[in-house]
Structure 1
Amino acid sequence: MILFVKLFLGHLLGDFIWQPNSWVADKEIKKHKSIYLYVHIFLHGILAAILAGEISFIPYAVLIAVTHGIIDLIKLNFQKKKNKRTWFVADQIAHILILIGVVFLYENKTVPNFWTNNEFWIFLTGILLLTKPASIFIKTIISIWAPESKIDNQDNSLIAAGNYIGILERLFVFGFILTNHFEAIGFLLAAKSIFRFGDLKEAKDRKLTEYVLIGTLISFGAAILAGLIVQALLLQLP
């Protein structure tokens, strides 16, 4: 675990702290012809070797550097302006997976078999349930109360912001339940109420206020229920 933390620290230093915007811009323009791409790759290898603190880790540091360069090259050649955000996320996930794989390889550990891990499937089902399925369920349930003013206010709102906020709040509540931090749920609900209060006060629409309140309570209730069910299922495991 500590080895992964050190390698992740090196990744943060190499990819964010010690990579100027001028390097990024040069790489995006020149791609594989950019000298900064190779400086960046070399930096990651050096950081991995130094932070690991073991001479025997040097070949693995080289592996990290090479794979980092390959992943970056793939991103640089395929990313466009419209999908740049997606490629950034995919790039970071790939780098982290490589670090995890190197740690398992270096420490001669076997990769966990998730297919036979019952806890993994219970957690995964609970998390996925609280994303898009829960959003569709809640939207369908409260659609009969949707006020007309809600439609008019969409011009001043981020695209699908309400949907993402709902998913995030349910995942937070789910995590609080599983870690037995029930008091944090009250803090989250209070925080959301404060942020929403101004909008609802300006709208001066009682139906909109009730609509938002119903949606919020159903969302929190679904997350709490899912968390409690997952807890109960985990307790039943041998």
Structure 2
Amino acid sequence: MLALKLILSHFLGDFVLQFDGWVKDKEKNKLKSKFLYLHTFVHASLMFLLLGLKKEYVGIVIIISLFHLLIDAVKLLKPIKNKRILFFADQLAHLAVIGVVVFVYQGLKFRIPTLITEKSLLLAIAILIVTVVSSIVLKVVFSLWGDALKKINKSDSSLKNAGKYIGMLERLLVFVFIVLDKWEAIGFLLAAKSVFRFGDLTNAKDRLLTEYVLIGTLLSFGIAIATGLLYLKLLTFI
């Protein structure tokens, strides 16, 4: 419960109650920005609000607040130039502090070895198959039509690697729907994809794009469905 309250206060403070004006002022004035310290105060107030004004939690709030201020100050100095990496590193650092504080004050109620079970390993393998592994498999399959794909890519402007990540999310959703026994959701997902790609297919000057989309969709959904069914079947033996 302590960890959940601290994480909730963090998300509220960092994503809900931190305004664009504050962020711009901090990026401009760095450590001299008043909003850096106001932001830290907001976090402390949220923690007290969720935990209650109890003496046993004063130390927790002070420690997390000081580390939050330190992490944000380091972020403003931009030790990493890549904004995306810096953002995720910042968030992981905040959550790591919360985790350490909870461990020190309460102790973890589980041990790491207990998390590594046959079921968790099977789930990890299934997720890897429907995301990274299947992406490579599809790439290898489509290498059969290398010249044709180059023609499509030249005539199609899109975000870098967008198709790859869309495919991963698509297969992951299909896998989740199968595990939850929500087959109708798979039909909805397939229909939604068909609607979004309808314009591309109808405007295509030749059959290359149509065939590419159909083969990719059928293979992608097929891999995800097969993985989901195999996962459920193997669970019965564990």
Give the TM-score normalised by the residue count of structure 1: 0.85
Distance (Å, rounded) in 1 between the aligned partners of 2:123 and 2:155: 36
> Displacement of 1:106 after TM fit?
4.7
Distance across 1 between alignment mates of 2:63 and 2:110: 18
Contact 1:178 1:227 in 2 (8 A): yes
Question: Which runs of structure 2 are paired with 1:106-185 in the superposition (5 Å)?
Answer: 106-114=105-113, 116-145=116-145, 147=148, 149-154=151-156, 156-185=157-186
Q: Within 5 A, what are the aligned runs for 1:80-119?
A: 83-103=82-102, 105-114=104-113, 116-119=116-119
Q: Deviations over 1:166-201 (max 9, x none)?
A: 111111112212222222111111111110111111
Once the two structures are aligned, what percentage of the paired residues are identical? 47
Tell me the distance in 2 between the aligned counterparts of 1:113 and 1:40.
34
Shift in Å, 1:68: 2.0
| Partners of 2:190 and 2:99 in 1: CA distance | 35
Structure 2 Cα separation of the partners of residues 218 and 168 of structure 1? 14
Per-residue CA deviation, residues 70-109 of structure 1 (Å, 9 max, x unaligned), is 332332223555x102211232233334445545555543
- Shift in alpha-carbon separation, 1:158–1:205, aligned structure 2, 3 A: same
Q: What is the alpha-carbon distance in structure 1 between the residues aligned to residue 181 and residue 102 of structure 2?
A: 31
Query: What is the TM-score of this pair, normalised by structure 2?
Result: 0.85
Partner of 1:188: 189
Distance of aligned partners of 1:224 and 1:73 in 2 relative to their CA distance in 1, 3 Å threshold: farther
Q: Note if contact 2:152-2:208 (Cα within 8 Å) is conserved in structure 1.
A: no
Which ranges in structure 1 are unaligned for 5 or more consecutive residues? none
SS in 1 for 2:181: coil
1:210 aligns with 2:215: no
Give, in whole Å, the separation in 2 of the partners of 1:185 and 1:103: 40
1:138–1:215 CA contact under 8 A, matched in 2: yes
Judging changes above 3 Å, is the alpha-carbon distance between structure 1 residues 116 and 54 closer, same or farther for their aligned structure 2 residues?
farther
Distance 2:145 2:174 in 1: 25
- Rounded to whole Å, the distance in 1 between the matches of 2:100 and 2:191 is 41
